[in-house]
Amino acid sequence: MFPFEFKNEPKVCEIGGVKFGGQPGDYPCVCVSSIFQKGDKVFEGKRKEGFNEQRAAELLKTQDKLWAETGVPGMADIVANTGQEFKTYIDFVTSVTNMPFCVDAWVMKPKLEGAAYCAEKGLLDRMFYNSLTVWEQDLETEIREISQIGVKHVLLVSFDQSDQMPTGRITGTQKILDIIDRVGARFKSIFVDTSVMNGPATALCGVANQLVKEKWGFPVASAPSNGSYMWKKARELWGFKGWAAADAALEALSAFYYHDMIFSGPMAGAERIMPAVAMAEAFKATARFAESKKLPKDSSHPLFKLFPEFTEQLQTL
C-alpha cells in the first residue's frame, strides 16, 4: 500500500518563508522553474547583449500570481555562466519578486561567486544552492567554500552509475554526506535530488525519495522536466499541445509521488505546470485524509484554496 505517513516524522525546512517537507500532504510540492537558462526567450540576441527586462518581469509576476491562485509555491532557478551574470540576475529577480531562488551553474566557480554575492546582499535566507553533485571532481573544496560563505540551504544531487536503481541514490547521497561530515560543514537545510534519467524513470526517483525520507527525513526532489524536455518524439507525434500535456502529467505525477520540490523546467511553462501540480496536491491530501483523517498543515494548501466546500465536507466525516 502507498504509505501517506512516515513512522519517523520527516524534516520540515523553510527557505524564504516557504516550508518544504514533512509528511505527504502537509505542505504542497514547490515548483522550481528556471529563468535565464540557455535558450530562454528573455534573451533576444546574444546572451552578453542583455535580456528583455519586461519579459523577465512578466514571467516572475505570472509565477507569483499562480502561486497566489493555486497555493503551489514557486521558486526561481537563476541560471548563470559567470559571477557577474549572477549579480545582474539576482539583483533583477529580487527587485521584482519576494519568492525564494536558486543559484544554478554547470561549474563551481560562478556558483560560488553567486552564493558569495547573496551573502554580501543579505539574501542567504532566500537562496538555495543548486547544487552539490556526486560527479564534481573537487567536491570537498566546494563544500568547504560554501560553508565558509555561510550558505544555509543546499541541494545534494545523488546518483551511482554502478547502481541505477533507487538504492543507488541512497549510496550517492551517503557519499556526499560523508564528505560534508569530513569537511565539518553544517547546513540549516539539506535537500536530496534523486536524478532523473527520462520520463518513466522519474518513478525511480519517487521510490528513491521515499527511501531518503525514511532513512534521513530530508526533503526530496528531482527534475521531471529533464525527462519531458528530452522526449523529442512526443512533439513529433502530437505537436506542442500533446507534448505539453505529457509534461504537465509527469510533473503532477512526481508531485504526488514523494516529491517536496520539482525542478519543473523553464518559467514560461508555469501556467500549465502549477495548476497541474495543484490538482495533484489536492488529490494527495485527500488520499492522505482517507488514511489518517488528517488535513494539510499549510492553510494555503491547494485543497483549502481551490476546493473549500469539499474540504468542509471532509471535516464532517
Domain-embedded: residue 95: yes
Q: Are strands 189-193 and 220-222 parallel, antiparallel or unpaired?
A: parallel
Residue 1: per-residue pLDDT? 55
Please provide the average confidence, as pLDDT, over all residues in the chain. Answer: 96
Helix (H, G, I), strand (E, B) or coil at 114: helix
* Residue 131 belongs to domain spanning: 20-311
- The Cα–Cα gap between 170 and 180 comes to 15
Domain-embedded: residue 9: no
Residue 161: per-residue pLDDT? 84
- The Cα–Cα gap between 8 and 4 comes to 12
Domain-embedded: residue 160: yes
Give the domain CATH number at 167: 3.20.20.20
pLDDT tens string 38-90: 999 999 988 988 999 999 999 999 999 999 999 999 999 999 999 999 999 99
Domain-embedded: residue 134: yes
Residue 124: per-residue pLDDT? 98
Q: What is the largest CA-CA distance in the chain?
A: 60
The answer to whether 127 and 151 have CB atoms below 8 angstroms apart is: yes
pLDDT tens string 144-199: 999 999 999 999 999 888 899 999 999 999 999 999 999 999 999 999 999 988 99
Domain-embedded: residue 276: yes
Domain-embedded: residue 13: no
Tell me the whole-structure pTM to 2 decimals: 0.96
Domain count, the chain: 1
Domain-embedded: residue 71: yes
Instruction: State which H helix or E strand residue 204 sits in.
Output: helix 202-215
pLDDT tens string 206-244: 999 999 999 999 999 999 999 999 999 999 999 999 999
Domain-embedded: residue 156: yes
